[in-house]
Amino acid sequence: MGKSANNMSVALFGGTFNPIHFGHLNLASELADYLQVESVRMLPCAIPAHRETPNISAEQRLAMLELAIDGNPSLVADDLELKRGDTSYSIDTVGYIRQAIGLQTPLFFCIGMDALLSIHSWHRWTELLDYCHIVACSRPDYELPSNGVVAKWIDQHLCNDLTQVKKQSHGCLHLCKIPLLDISSTAIRDNIKYEKNIDHMTSESVVNYIKQHSLYE
């Protein structure tokens, strides 16, 4: 299916993005291509549900995201969760977007494999597929669980054929083998703390923003 035939689909990629890095950017760009969507909407969370609130502001995380995607037409910053404020639950986000786009449009919620492995800790996680497809991408060192609730859920919803997935608006878990770069926001924050270089980990504009605002020191 060509891009024009499928450009109504919507793809979301959420995260704390504290800060955004080449791993996120590379994956989101590859996903736009792979899913043949016009753009991937990148959503920084307001208050993350499963971790400490970041010690920089949501506005700063959004500002860095905007700098990083500047000039890349396949990536769009979406402040939906930031505007909502409060704890960002993915179920609320996909529910809201499903209402906005109607019942027929395929909606892809894209996550990394680390997120998939802990998905059973997410608020109302079993309802997510009522609103969207989940596309999970592997990091180099992750494997699928072989038992437990997530393994069972994966078994029930796995659909490897992307063409089949696209024929439905929601309901499938699709695993995709886009290789993930070995970069994390944690490693960036640690490098800054220990006065190591981060130039190879995120865009020059983000590196400059971090320096200007003395973030993560």
Residue 9 binds to ligand ATP (criterion: CB under 6 A): no
Q: Which one of the spans 1-9, 144-152, 154-162, 184-192 is the region binding ligand ATP (CB under 6 A)?
A: 184-192
Closer by beta carbon to ligand ATP, 44 or else 106: 44
Sole binder of ligand ATP in the list 104, 147, 156, 186 (CB under 6 A): 186
With CB under 6 A as the contact rule, the residue among 64, 111, 119, 198 that binds ligand ATP is: 111
Binding flag, residue 184, ligand ATP (CB under 6 A): yes
Q: 100: Cβ–Cβ under 8 A, 6 or more apart, which residues?
A: none
**C-alpha distance from residue 152 to each of 146, 149, 157, 182, 214 (Å):** 8, 5, 9, 28, 45
Note whether 114 binds ligand ATP by CB under 6 A.
Answer: yes
The answer for residues whose C-beta is within 8 angstroms of residue 211's C-beta and 6 or more apart is none
Q: How far is the CB of 187 from ligand ATP (least distance, A)?
A: 7
How many residues bind ligand ATP (CB under 6 A)? The answer is 17
> What Rg do the C-alpha atoms of the chain give, in angstroms?
17
19 forms part of the interface with ligand ATP (CB under 6 A): no
Quote the CA–CA distance of 113 and 56 in Å, as a whole number: 26
Closest CA to 201 of 18, 59, 56, 79: 18
| Binding span for ligand ATP by CB under 6 A among 22-30, 63-71, 97-105, 204-212 | 22-30
For residue 183, what is the enclosing H or E element?
A: none
Give min distance, CB of 18 to ligand ATP, in A.
5
Tally the C-alpha atoms within 13 A of residue 43's C-alpha that lie toward its C-beta: 26
The single residue among 65, 180, 192, 198 that binds ligand ATP, judged by CB under 6 A, is 180
Structure tokens at 62: 């959004």
How crowded is the C-beta side of 72, counted as CA atoms within 13 Å? Answer: 22
Per CB under 6 A, does 60 bind ligand ATP?
A: no
Q: Where on the chain is the footprint of ligand ATP (CB under 6 A)?
A: 15-18, 23-24, 27, 111-112, 114-115, 180-181, 183-186
